[in-house]
Structure 1
Amino acid sequence: MLYDVEKETLPREELEALQLRKLQSLVERVYYNVPFYREKLDEAGVRPEDIRSLRDVQFLPFTEKQDLRNNYPFGLFAVPRENVVRIHASSGTTGKATVVGYTQRDVRNWATLMARSLMAAGATRRDTVHNAYGYGLFTGGLGVHYGAEQLGASIVPISGGGTKRQATLLKDFGPTVICCTPSYALHLYETAKAGGLDVENLPLHTGIFGAEPWTDEMRADLESKLGIKALDIYGLSEIMGPGVAMECRPAQDGLHIWEDHFLVETIDPETGEQLAPGETGELVITTLSKEAQPLLRYRTRDLTRLNTVPCRCGRTHTRMARVMGRSDDMLIIRGVNVFPSQIESILLETEGIAPHYQLILRRHGSLDTLEIHVEIDDSTFSDEIKHLQRLERKIQKNIKEFLGVTADIKLAEPMSIARSQGKAQRIIDRRHEAE
């Protein structure tokens, strides 16, 4: 199903012509309205009139998260403060918060793209959406909320937390679509089952999951346990929020990036050089429509591949593969590069293992070590010690064979690894703690 047939099926030539017009306007706006960008463009020797084709985007400077922090709170706004009707911000747990502003048109565009995303997932105005993304300064909750309302669906604004109550409302309200992080969906399933809820017979038919990396193995687990079609959504606060890209229900083969609003490219994260479609690299996004806080070539640090072949669903917009990791959360264990998503795939392929784990990094002398805590399921918990030891050795062997890393495996009892109300905390770095 398509929300906006004309825009979602634009021929590539028309789509790129639209992008070029918007890119030229964007560069001119930031050059004359944002001192930070004027300085960066002058340093790069680029003026607005130099942008004559989409290929010229490679000459524009990158924007990084630290640039948002350095210009905290409103230094990157391109409009007067009285035109800003919404302000969101990150938690700032790793430094100053990153602030994002929206004009009224920005908010309307956001709602439209989220409605488009929901409909790509198969949602209609007849659905009820259980929205367990967090409300507040985090963009997730309100982004889904306004999109569902624009689509005409009923929205249950439950937000995060209160998991037992959420399980009860799944039964009482009968939502058909659930939106949250994939790890929280599994936590909600466990809580519901523990409370005696017949999860398999709920009217849920679709789950829209994002905000953290997840694998095909976790997708299969969610679909099996919840009896749904599990679809991936992508977004980030700095660009807009959720709804930048969405996996479609008919094909389930990559996430459609809404290119009438975003210009995307992939780059080599080390050199910054552009990569061809199909090559794995860091996703870079330029906001073509954003008024309050437009960004040039924002480095997302998310690793993915782009596919420009039109989808069999009829949409022509470029698709991105599910994010396979981040260029800045790659683990280097004794010279071997490892992403948490690679470890997750191996764990979830192992019979008897529950989809909850943590990666503990330690340092012994000058060497980094990896310890993996992973829960076993209820049936495995009752097995003999010898069987559990064999399971540990099997996981260790698989990780060594496939990833080239030796890890210390610690099997944990069911429900013993802390659950998160939002993004799951997968990595615990203890390398700087005293031994």
Structure 2
Amino acid sequence: MNISVAGTGYVGLVTGVCLAEMGHQVTCIDIQEEKIAMLQSGRLPIYEPGLEDLIEKNVTCGRLHFTTNPKYAYGNAEVIVIAVGTPEQQDGTANLTYVREVAYSIAQYMKNDVIVCTKSTVPVGTNDQISEIIQRHKPANHHVEVVANPEFLREGSAVVDFFYGDRIVIGSDCHKAAAFIEQIYLPLDIPIIKTDIKSAEMIKYAANAFLATKISFINEIATICEQVGANIEEVTKGIGKDKRIGPYFLKAGIGYGGSCFPKDTKALVQLAGNNQHSFDLLKAVIEVNNRQASLPVIKAKEIIGSLKGKKVALLGLSFKPNTDDVRQAASLVIIEELREEGAVITAFDPIAIPNALQVLGNTIEYTQDIRQALLHADLAIIVTEWEEIKQLPLETFELYMKKPVVIDGRNCYSLKEISKQPITYISIGRPIVTNEYKNSET
């Protein structure tokens, strides 16, 4: 099948590459010439485990192509996937500019009947707008159907999620179009849910909002645990065994980030407000999450007092491990607050430094050597649960830091193991561990 994918961000690139891996002829189109040139030369504009090998394989096999030319991309496509960004606007609503531009371009360059499949996260009613734009501007003798097909790909595991996801949602008011898209996914043997278009659009927002709610809920419970002397890990273990609750997204920490949860929760609040409903629960979820990122600096000041002139090792820049994405990352909030306190910051991250540089510039020091970040540090703050951090021998903190004071925003270490080390250790929702430490420096 000839499939074109508009947009080569996380969703578009992963979708296009994986469809090619399934045996389809895929053309990925983007308006950014630099990005397409990178892909054509075999370089990736994003980091995603497993993706580079699949691109090389499918380009070599002749199934995967990259272009900036809409005539080439849309002219002979049977299915066109819209996977462009829908960035957050100042009022929290989704910016649909790129979606509309793609719709106009499809109408202008399509040369045969086509099914347009929307993967971009869009407010309810957007696919009707896409259909209206294309119908109004397309050639009179060609037929178009629009299908809502929201994505559920997680950065860092997107390739796995594509091939082994929990479900595939296909929203359409045309049975024939829905059945056509269903045939693409049947080889994956993943449950397929077929709905009307508006329900499919809402499913994406509702899923992300619910997961965000679980995260903020458990962080509120963690705060209470700290006050009463309970251990959040024991609490989550106890409630997670309840099948009605489940163990997932119940890990206490410094909140969610990235390109989806912050944007989609705000967009759903705005969507509700536009329809005369105040989504008070989700407003509270957002408020709690915004507060979480400030916890490490608050805890640092409680433990060591003034941070002025103190060297802080910030461990992790990306919003989650296995991605180089720093959008809405807790690290950005923490760095800003540390700088306001006068701290000197050295940040460690294995892959996200280039993206962090674009946001922060040279206002802090960067290193891919975790020990270099810790050298002579007065304080270490764990922001991202990279394996390089989780597997770090605990004695490293004592060996390299002035005094081993660690604030763990992701609860990377067990209290049992930490208690064996001369480390002052503050985590989220768990008792503080304060052990005597040596006064030697490396």
TM range (shorter): under 0.3
Rg (Cα) greater in structure: 2
**Richer in helix (by share):** 2
- After TM superposition, the score normalised by the length of structure 1 is 0.27
What is the TM-score with the length of structure 2 in the denominator?
0.26
Between Structure 1 and Structure 2, the one with more strand by share is 1
